C-alpha cells in the first residue's frame, strides 16, 4: 500500500501590527484546503497592544514560532529576523513562505526564502508611493522583485507590477484582506464607549478628530515635529483631538509641546477593536499610516493623510482619503467639519474590497501548491 502524500506546508511570517489583520483572513480561508500551516511571529512589534492583542481579538492561532527579535535600527532588526528565520526555514522546509505588507520582517523573510529556493507569496504586492526615502517603499520593491506569487489589493498595484516587467502570470488581483477583517468585526465596534472613556462626550460638541502619527518624516526630526505639533494644535483649536501615540516619536512630539494644548488627549496604543471604534466615531482621521487610509475608506470616515504621496492612491480615487500638508491641515479639518460625515454606504469602495479577499488568496495559494 502506498503512503499518503504529506500535505504541503505554508509558512506565514508576521511581525508588526499591520500584518495581523491581513494574515487572519488568509489563515482562516486556508483551513478549507488540504494544506498544513505554520505561523511565525518575528516579534518586530512586541508590545501587547501592538501585537499580542491581535491574536486574542482577531481569532489568529497562537504563533507556532515566536522569534522575539524586538526593536533596533532597520539593519539590526532585518538582520536579526533573517538569521532567526534561516534556522526556522531549514528546520521545517516549507513548500511556500507567505509574507504580508511592507515591514522589515516581510523583506527579511522573502530574502531568506529566496536564497533557500523556497517560493514566496507576497500579500499586498505592487503598492508604490514613488518615495524611496520611506523604508517601506524599499521593502516593497525588494520583496516584489524576489516573490513568486504577487497578490495585489487594487488595479493600480497590478499596473505597477506590469510596468516593472513582472510576469503577468504571477500577478493576481485578489482584493484587500485587511478589509475582510474590518468587515468581519464592524458589528463589534462601539465608538460611544471609546469616546466616553477619553471624555469626548463630556464636551458640548461630541465630535472629535482621531489622529495617528509615526512616520520618520513626521516625528524623527525637530524641524518636522515642531510644525506637526503646531498643526495639531490648530486642529485642537476647533475640535478635540484624540491621539493613540505609537512609541515611535513619543519623546520628540512631547518635547515639541504636543501636550501643551488642552484639546489634545494622548492615549497609549489601542487594541484593534478599540482603535477601529475610535476611528468609526470620529468626525475625521488625521494619519500618516497606510493601513489607516484603507480602514477609513472601508468605514466611510474622512481621512486626511499627512504625507506628500501614498502607495494607496485607490483610497483617494475610490475612497475617503485626501493628502494634506501640515500647513493646510487645520483648513482641511474645517472643511470636513463643515461638510459633516457622509451618510453610511454613500462613499465609494474599491473593487474586491468586499470581505472575500482571504478566500481568493487561499485559492491562488492552493492552486500554486497543486492542491486547489
Q: Can you tell me which residue has the cell 508604490?
A: 128
Query: Rounded to a whole number, what is the largest CA-CA distance in the chain?
Result: 78
Crossing angle of the two packed helices 19-30 and 357-368, in degrees rounded to 10: 60
pLDDT tens digits for range 305-363: 999 999 999 999 999 999 999 999 999 999 999 999 999 889 999 999 999 999 999 99
pLDDT tens digits for range 142-172: 999 999 999 999 999 999 999 999 999 999 9
86, 55, 294, 197 alpha-carbon torsion, rounded to 10°: -140
Label residue 1 by pLDDT band (50, 70, 90).
very low
Catalytic residue among 45, 122, 160, 214: 214
pLDDT tens digits for range 98-142: 999 999 999 999 999 999 999 999 999 999 999 999 999 999 999
pLDDT tens digits for range 7-42: 999 999 998 888 999 999 999 999 999 999 999 999
Q: Are 294 and 176 in contact (CB under 8 A)?
A: yes
C-alpha cell at 291: 493601513
**What residues contact residue 50 under an 8 Å CB cut-off, 6+ apart?**
16, 17, 246, 269
Task: Delineate the domains of the chain, giving CATH numbers in brackets.
Answer: 9-176+353-368 (3.40.50.2000), 185-339 (3.40.50.2000)
Label residue 303 by pLDDT band (50, 70, 90).
very high
Query: What pTM was computed for the model?
Result: 0.93
Q: Are 67 and 89 in contact (CB under 8 A)?
A: no
- Beta strands 241-244 and 264-267 are parallel
For 172, the 3-state DSSP assignment is: strand
Residues in the chain: 372
> Across-strand partners of 41?
14, 66
Query: Is 305 buried (19+), middle (13-18) or exposed (0-12) by CB count in 10 A?
Result: buried
Whether 214 is catalytic: yes
Residue 335 CB neighbours (<10 A)? 14
C-alpha cell at 247: 512609541
**What residues contact residue 59 under an 8 Å CB cut-off, 6+ apart?**
24, 28
Amino acid at each position: 500500500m502506498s503512503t499518503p502524500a504529506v500535505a504541503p506546508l505554508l509558512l506565514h511570517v508576521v511581525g508588526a501590527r499591520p500584518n495581523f489583520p491581513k494574515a487572519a483572513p488568509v489563515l482562516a480561508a486556508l483551513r478549507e484546503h488540504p494544506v498544513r500551516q505554520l505561523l511565525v511571529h518575528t516579534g518586530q512589534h512586541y508590545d501587547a497592544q501592538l501585537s499580542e492583542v491581535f491574536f486574542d481579538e482577531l481569532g489568529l492561532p497562537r504563533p507556532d514560532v515566536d522569534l522575539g527579535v524586538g526593536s533596533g535600527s532597520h539593519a539590526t532588526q532585518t538582520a536579526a529576523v533573517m538569521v532567526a528565520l534561516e534556522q526556522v526555514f531549514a528546520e521545517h522546509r516549507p513548500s511556500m513562505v507567505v509574507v504580508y505588507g511592507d515591514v522589515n520582517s516581510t523583506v527579511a523573510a522573502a530574502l531568506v526564502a529566496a536564497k533557500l529556493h523556497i517560493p514566496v507569496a507576497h500579500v499586498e504586492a505592487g503598492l508604490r508611493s514613488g518615495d524611496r526615502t520611506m523604508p517601506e517603499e524599499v521593502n516593497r520593491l525588494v520583496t516584489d522583485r524576489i516573490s513568486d506569487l504577487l497578490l495585489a489589493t487594487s488595479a493600480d498595484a497590478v499596473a505597477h507590477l506590469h510596468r516593472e516587467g513582472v510576469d503577468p502570470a504571477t500577478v493576481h488581483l485578489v482584493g484587500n484582506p485587511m478589509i475582510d477583517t474590518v468587515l468581519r468585526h464592524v458589528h463589534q465596534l462601539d465608538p460611544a464607549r471609546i469616546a466616553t472613556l477619553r471624555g469626548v462626550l463630556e464636551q458640548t460638541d461630541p465630535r472629535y478628530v482621531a489622529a495617528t502619527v509615526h512616520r520618520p518624516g513626521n516625528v524623527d526630526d525637530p524641524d518636522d515635529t515642531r510644525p506637526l505639533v503646531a498643526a495639531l494644535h490648530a486642529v485642537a483649536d476647533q475640535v478635540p483631538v484624540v491621539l493613540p501615540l505609537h512609541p515611535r516619536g513619543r519623546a520628540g512630539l512631547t518635547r515639541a509641546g504636543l501636550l501643551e494644548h488642552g484639546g489634545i488627549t494622548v492615549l497609549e496604543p489601542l487594541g484593534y477593536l478599540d482603535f477601529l471604534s475610535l476611528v468609526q466615531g470620529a468626525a475625521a482621521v488625521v494619519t500618516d499610516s497606510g493601513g489607516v487610509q484603507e480602514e477609513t475608506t472601508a468605514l466611510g470616515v474622512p481621512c486626511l493623510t499627512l504625507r506628500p504621496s501614498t502607495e494607496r492612491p485607490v483610497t483617494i480615487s475610490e475612497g475617503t482619503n485626501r493628502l494634506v500638508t501640515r500647513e493646510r491641515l487645520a483648513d482641511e479639518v474645517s472643511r470636513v467639519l463643515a461638510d459633516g460625515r457622509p451618510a453610511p454606504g454613500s462613499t465609494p469602495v474599491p473593487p474586491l474590497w468586499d470581505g472575500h479577499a482571504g478566500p481568493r488568496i487561499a485559492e491562488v495559494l492552493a492552486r500554486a501548491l497543486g492542491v486547489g
